[in-house]
Structure 1
Amino acid sequence: MDDSFEVFGERGGKTINDPIHGHYTLPDYAFQMIDTPQFQRLRDLKQLGTSYYVFPGAVHHRFEHCLGVARLANKMISQIRHKQPELQVTDREEKLVTLAGLCHDLGHGPFSHAFEEWLLMYKGIKWHHEDMSKTMLSHMIDENQIDMEQEDINFLKQLITGKERESTREKQFLFDIVANMRNSIDVDKFDYLARDCLFSGIKSSYDWARLVHHCRVIEDEICFNAKEVYNIYEMFHTRYSMHKRVYTHRVVKSIEFMISDALTLADPYLNISSAIEDPAEFTLLSDSILKTIETSKDPNLKESRDIISKIRKRQLYGSAGEVLVPPNQHEDITSVRVEDIIQHDSSLQPNDVIVDHVVMNYAMRDKNPVNHTHFFSKYNPNQKFLMQKEEVSLLIPNQFRESYVRIFVRDEKKVREETKGLVHGRQRLAAQRAFNKYLESRNCNPSPLRMMPDPVTKGREGVIHQRQLHF
């Protein structure tokens, strides 16, 4: 039984049974925030947004994730406090770190990160859920008359974002626990990777529990036992793998774009985007917005309802190709716009095509986060040092970022030919050919895994073969 569980047994609190962490207890002060409309809203936000439409087991929500992060944040700070009493961690610091883990995702919108992309792509609004989490935190405290000093509220907001750490006199290692801007190793990542892997059915080999257990503070920084260095690489590889296989799955992205279009068409009548300016309205905004549109009889929402109906019928936007961008062409290819594609085919209109830019990395853009992580040896636990990847394994990658450009077509008119089993989406094929011409002009080759073959091709004997194309 861990120390935090025993301590909470003495102080009170409530016990939670969780598929990731088993039985654990959160203190009473956490439930002052959990039992509010602002936090309970997280029950209506799926953790993986549109991934649920492809991975039907991914039914978990931001609510249980935030509880799990609070549990891990408390476990880590309690362990540090117990093992290193010289750090003089206070009850206040333990409480605020725990609450930072609990409240770090208060600001997520419908369908999680897809909402942020919608605001940027369709409304031109640069909006981040971390900033909204700070707004929602203040609103929650005021509306529910939670007794907190303003100084503590300000520090709690800093712990949630992980920013402004240099401008405070608080202990710096406290910022490494929930939102670690130093190397991105934090309890938020520990929980969401374990939870997302479990519910999406993806196997993971890294062990987050060892990272929580084998850490200590050296020179105001959380460091890890050197024997866990490969485990940390496995964690970042798991994150990359989840982005590649789940979060940016092409069908997930197709449905995401369809929901974005539905929100765009409904926004003038439902004022969805204006909710970010009013925390009271934002409290009422969740994944249920689709049902609000779908069940409305308002004729102004018909186009939006039609898109949602197509999602239900699996009439999705089609993928017309993708390219893995060579590192030396990253800036050139990733800046491609719709206009750059459609200029190669006069039959395409700007609204026919969607260009999707996908960037995957080890959480620090093109850098290796382990190069920013300090370790210690059991023989000298008070001396921190860096480890080069060549000291760990010769099979660790040299590149820590990859970029894709994908092309989707809306194909709203469903222009198709059906002759003797041949199904040919004209718009989709036109977009693919235009994309290929664009790539040829940049001396770049599309991915053969995402190439839709021409519906009619000649075999070796000159005989015409027809290919069934699956949408």
Structure 2
Amino acid sequence: MSTHPLSWLLALPSRPLRDPIWRHIHLPEPLLPLLRTPPFQRLTRIRQLGPTHLLYPGATHTRASHSLGVFALAWRMLLSLAEHPTFPHLTKEETLGFLIASLLHDLGHYPYTHSLKDLVLPDGTTLTPHEHLSARLIQEEPLASLIRAAGCDPLIPAAVIDSTLPTPTPHTPFLRALLSGVLDPDKLDYLTRDAFFCGVPYGVQDIDHILTTIRPTACGLAITPSGIPSIEHILFSKYLMYRTVYWHRTVRAATAMVKKTIYHALTEGVIIPDRFYLLDDAGLLQLIPRSAGPARTLIEDVHRGTLHTCIWEVPYDPSSPLHRAIEHLPTRIRLDTHLARTLFPNAPDHSIILDLPEPLIFETDIHIITEDEHTIPYTEARSVFTPETVHAFTTTIRTIRLFVPPSLADTRPSPRAIEDTLMEAL
């Protein structure tokens, strides 16, 4: 009987961790100490979907459980790919580095991450990408020593997560493509896990079938023609999850309220970015003191479940100068103030909130292996999901909304009055 190319990995002593999605996750014992470190334990106190539980009560799962799920799928993916002759000859250190990267890839995530994707700091910069923070934490204590004790240079998993770092091994680009791509373990877990805990059927992926259709290439992954439906399913699942969960009107209300609180706290110097990084959900509220002013009431309302009401919404139109202006968060805040003072003179300036989700990308950058063993881009394969269709996914769900306190919902201005007031302020 032939020996599996990664038989040494299968022989490592491991401990099963129970998971509602992937059942038993067998974590090698050398990696168990990583779970007990403060950086990983912080993820147990950060909800994966932020305030989404206000709409879907089951959505209280954490970044930690997601991270373990990504590790489980990364493990299964490696074992499947290693059985193919085109699988690169990874060293034991590279293999461990990839698995450690999959486990620790979210260490640098902020609380309420979905509220902060387009947050602009007072100096015009944006928040440090979570990938950079994850890589930094991996190379610092206590994680660095534990990773070395497990038999891996910390720079290897750090460089897999953060593509701006130098490539410490020849196969780092391949491992990066595995961890972040069309069929990456991160996306396969979060779509399936989020759907499960929200109680919706849209995101569940056919992992077993996907693992039988993927093939290793020098650039990462390709799939056989029988895997094309898996790509289509992921694309449509992502669309439906954004339409019904991530960008649902109620979730966007909570997201916009949190974002505005943090924006004001940062611009007014109530908190500084260095203190903001690496908080958990509860720490964020504690960091913003009551002296922060009226804007603090927004995040307090979110914690109480008292959300703003949507009184106006329009599909985002990239050809509209007004809509393009609303994309810029500081401009959006200025327009909020103008709306409040013009149309809602008795309301606090901070209580009127325009919201526009960040641009969304549906990844299709994967190749299909043809019957004659050549590869073609997915966009050239026979699929109903043409580039035009995929582009339409974003245009049909990206919406500008105006949120106001529930007490103002019954005195809403007409849509024409709102649009005219916004145009006046440009």
TM-score between the two structures when normalised by the length of structure 2: 0.80
Choose the corresponding residue for 1:408, options 395, 399, 402: 402
> 1:49–1:314: structure 2 CA closer, same or farther, 3 Å change rule?
closer
Q: Which segments of 5 or more consecutive residues in structure 2 lack a partner in the other structure?
A: none
- 2:343 matched to which residue of 1? 347
Deviation at 1:353, TM superposition (A): 3.2
- 2:195 matched to which residue of 1? 197
CA–CA distance in structure 1, aligned partners of residues 284 and 211 of structure 2: 39
> 1:60–1:340: structure 2 CA closer, same or farther, 3 Å change rule?
closer
Q: How does 1:17-96 map to 2 (within 5 A)?
A: 17-84=18-85, 87-96=88-97
Q: Retained in 1: the 8 A contact 2:177–2:219? A: no
> 1:35–1:84: structure 2 CA closer, same or farther, 3 Å change rule?
farther
SS in 2 for 1:15: strand
1:134-162 alpha-carbon deviations (Å, 9 max, x no partner)? 12222344676542799933332221134
Larger relative contact order (Cα-Cα within 8 Å, sequence gap ≥ 6): 2
| Larger gyration radius, structure 1 or structure 2 | 1
Q: Which amino acid aligns with 2:377?
A: L
Q: Retained in 1: the 8 A contact 2:223–2:368? A: yes
Q: Which amino acid aligns with 1:38?
A: P
CA–CA distance in structure 1, aligned partners of residues 292 and 335 of structure 2: 32
Deviation at 1:42, TM superposition (A): 0.5
Q: Which amino acid aligns with 2:42?
A: R
CA–CA distance in structure 2, aligned partners of residues 156 and 237 of structure 1: 31
Deviation at 1:62, TM superposition (A): 0.4
Deviation at 1:335, TM superposition (A): 2.4
Q: How does 1:7-406 map to 2 (within 5 A)?
A: 10-84=11-85, 87-117=88-118, 119-120=119-120, 124-127=124-127, 128-141=129-142, 146-147=147-148, 152-162=153-163, 169-170=170-171, 172-180=173-181, 184-204=182-202, 206-263=205-262, 271=271, 273-276=273-276, 282=278, 285-289=279-283, 292=286, 300=291, 303=294, 306-311=297-302, 314-326=305-317, 329=319, 333-336=323-326, 337-338=331-332, 342=338, 346-348=342-344, 351-359=350-358, 361-364=360-363, 369=364, 372-377=365-370, 379-380=371-372, 382-388=373-379, 391-393=382-384, 398-400=389-391, 401-402=394-395, 404-406=398-400
Between Structure 1 and Structure 2, the one with more strand by share is: 1
Deviation at 1:26, TM superposition (A): 1.4
- 1:435 matched to which residue of 2? 418
Deviation at 1:61, TM superposition (A): 0.4
Deviation at 1:230, TM superposition (A): 2.2
Q: Retained in 2: the 8 A contact 1:240–1:360? A: no
> 1:4–1:269: structure 2 CA closer, same or farther, 3 Å change rule?
farther
CA–CA distance in structure 2, aligned partners of residues 216 and 407 of structure 1: 43
Q: Retained in 2: the 8 A contact 1:16–1:25? A: yes
Q: Retained in 2: the 8 A contact 1:375–1:386? A: yes
Deviation at 1:121, TM superposition (A): 6.6
Q: Retained in 2: the 8 A contact 1:334–1:405? A: no
Deviation at 1:25, TM superposition (A): 0.6
**Identical counterparts, % of pairs:** 21
Q: Retained in 2: the 8 A contact 1:320–1:431? A: no
> 1:108–1:95: structure 2 CA closer, same or farther, 3 Å change rule?
same
Q: Retained in 1: the 8 A contact 2:56–2:198? A: yes
1:257-283 alpha-carbon deviations (Å, 9 max, x no partner)? 333344456667973633256xxxx3x
Aligned length: 406
Q: Which segments of 5 or more consecutive residues in structure 1 lack a partner in the other structure?
A: 416-423, 442-471
TM-score between the two structures when normalised by the length of structure 1: 0.73
Q: Retained in 2: the 8 A contact 1:4–1:75? A: no
Q: Retained in 2: the 8 A contact 1:345–1:434? A: no
RMSD over aligned Cα atoms: 3.8
1:381-439 alpha-carbon deviations (Å, 9 max, x no partner)? x4322344672238885351316342334449x45xxxxxxxx633xx13744334379
SS in 2 for 1:44: coil
CA–CA distance in structure 1, aligned partners of residues 6 and 169 of structure 2: 31
Deviation at 1:30, TM superposition (A): 2.1
Whether 1:425 aligns to 2:415 is no
CA–CA distance in structure 2, aligned partners of residues 347 and 134 of structure 1: 47
Q: Retained in 2: the 8 A contact 1:109–1:286? A: yes
CA–CA distance in structure 2, aligned partners of residues 436 and 362 of structure 1: 28
State which drifts further: 431-440 or 316-325: 431-440
Q: Which amino acid aligns with 1:234?
A: H
Q: Retained in 2: the 8 A contact 1:74–1:97? A: no
1:80-137 alpha-carbon deviations (Å, 9 max, x no partner)? 22333763222112111101111110001112232444x4277854122111111222
